[in-house]
Amino acid sequence: MAEILKFVYNATLFFSLYLVVYNSKLWCDTDADCQEKFPGPSKYPIKCMKGICKCVIN
Protein backbone atom coordinates (compact mmCIF):
# COMPACT_ATOMS: atom_id res chain seq x y z
CA MET A 1 0.00 0.00 0.00
CA ALA A 2 2.81 2.40 0.86
CA GLU A 3 4.50 1.70 -2.48
CA ILE A 4 1.34 2.63 -4.36
CA LEU A 5 1.07 5.91 -2.47
CA LYS A 6 4.72 6.70 -3.21
CA PHE A 7 4.15 6.00 -6.89
CA VAL A 8 1.06 8.23 -7.03
CA TYR A 9 2.90 11.01 -5.17
CA ASN A 10 5.90 10.83 -7.52
CA ALA A 11 3.70 10.70 -10.61
CA THR A 12 1.76 13.76 -9.45
CA LEU A 13 4.96 15.66 -8.71
CA PHE A 14 6.49 14.80 -12.08
CA PHE A 15 3.32 15.72 -13.97
CA SER A 16 2.99 19.08 -12.20
CA LEU A 17 6.63 19.96 -12.98
CA TYR A 18 6.02 19.07 -16.62
CA LEU A 19 3.03 21.45 -16.75
CA VAL A 20 5.04 24.31 -15.25
CA VAL A 21 7.80 23.90 -17.84
CA TYR A 22 5.35 23.55 -20.72
CA ASN A 23 3.25 26.57 -19.73
CA SER A 24 6.29 28.80 -19.29
CA LYS A 25 7.11 28.20 -22.95
CA LEU A 26 3.84 29.83 -24.05
CA TRP A 27 4.49 33.32 -22.56
CA CYS A 28 5.56 36.06 -24.98
CA ASP A 29 5.90 39.82 -25.45
CA THR A 30 5.94 40.05 -29.26
CA ASP A 31 5.12 37.88 -32.27
CA ALA A 32 8.87 37.38 -32.77
CA ASP A 33 9.07 35.64 -29.38
CA CYS A 34 6.56 33.06 -30.58
CA GLN A 35 8.49 32.45 -33.79
CA GLU A 36 11.67 31.81 -31.74
CA LYS A 37 9.93 29.43 -29.34
CA PHE A 38 8.08 27.50 -32.05
CA PRO A 39 10.34 27.55 -35.13
CA GLY A 40 9.65 25.89 -38.43
CA PRO A 41 6.94 25.98 -41.03
CA SER A 42 3.43 26.17 -39.67
CA LYS A 43 0.11 25.79 -41.45
CA TYR A 44 -1.28 28.59 -39.27
CA PRO A 45 0.64 31.71 -38.17
CA ILE A 46 1.60 31.94 -34.51
CA LYS A 47 0.85 35.30 -32.87
CA CYS A 48 1.33 36.76 -29.41
CA MET A 49 -2.14 37.48 -28.00
CA LYS A 50 -2.47 38.92 -24.48
CA GLY A 51 0.99 37.59 -23.58
CA ILE A 52 0.43 34.00 -24.78
CA CYS A 53 1.48 32.38 -28.07
CA LYS A 54 -1.53 31.17 -30.04
CA CYS A 55 -2.18 29.81 -33.52
CA VAL A 56 -4.39 32.09 -35.58
CA ILE A 57 -7.05 30.20 -37.51
CA ASN A 58 -9.33 32.25 -39.76
Give me the pLDDT at residue 41, please. Answer: 78
CB 37 within 8 A of CB 21: no
pLDDT digits (tens, 9 = 90+) for 1-25: 889 999 998 888 887 776 655 656 6
pTM, to two decimals: 0.51
pLDDT, one tens digit per residue, over 20-58 is 556 566 788 998 988 888 887 778 888 899 988 888 887
What does residue 50 show for φ and ψ, rounded to 5 degrees? 55, 35
Provide the domain limits for residue 28. 2-55
Q: Are 46 and 55 in contact (CB under 8 A)?
A: yes
Q: How many domains does the chain contain in total? A: 1
